[in-house]
Structure 1
């Protein structure tokens, strides 16, 4: 812990050899570590980090759409229509799934921390309350025929056309990987 991790709120007093301040511990180090390991379209990319006086500055992309709360407040009846709600919820879930696979427990989910990118996609922000932990993916179930080296997934293809578009239905493998966070550090 160093001075760069503290936010000076106000001076309480002082003496002959020093001053006493009320400080808040910034979790910038946690946020910096987390941002440095992320690579996902719904999560911020860390471009640079530097210290400026007593502040740690993190440079990441700008989201001109504001946040989800502002977008919600712009709706005529202060609510999203069902397709929009499903769209935003699905993207948040995909981002959270990725974070969990990376061993990050995101603990500050609220509309103000869901930013809107230029293309309308979401981006989670504000990782200072997040926890990092170890993950170890576990194979939960598998279908032996799919895992067999002679299995050819293309033998089950079904082709159809819809409105002049070729649709290829490829069966999903019956394999599920789950990363379970362990040893979360509070």
Structure 2
């Protein structure tokens, strides 16, 4: 059985499959979701980054930015940014000329390192976001110094994450209370 949101019944809580009101109603996150403590957070190993561990958390779309900032700086230990660099674009793959690719990658890393910036992307491995990830990967492989590391933050929708269910903690693990999660 497929829900009106497009996901299967197994991907929802039981009460989400029997919402109050007419079933033909257009799916609306304010009506058809509920907020609760998140069950998806922790450390993940990025195998293409020399087994580097990265933090992740699943948050509600209305989690206050200050709460997210506190989590990242005080609990994850990220240094406060002097600058935010947002790299956005379509998730469509494209071809970049080798010289332009090299200039983009080196320039992005140099600016981020020299300014103490955080680089924020859409968090997927396609399009310009893939270029950012590869630039940061290459930089981290060539530089072991913590001060020269580039802080990269990927913000992706839950449905776009491959193998996302492996990021959900078992029921016996305590839930993180930052923000929440909509299901």
Structure 1 or 2: more helix by fraction? 2
- Considering only CA atoms, is the larger Rg found in Structure 1 or Structure 2? 1
Q: TM > 0.5 between the two?
A: no
TM-score (structure 2 length as normaliser): 0.25
Point out which structure has higher relative CO (alpha carbons under 8 A, 6+ apart).
2
Structure 1 or 2: more strand by fraction? 1
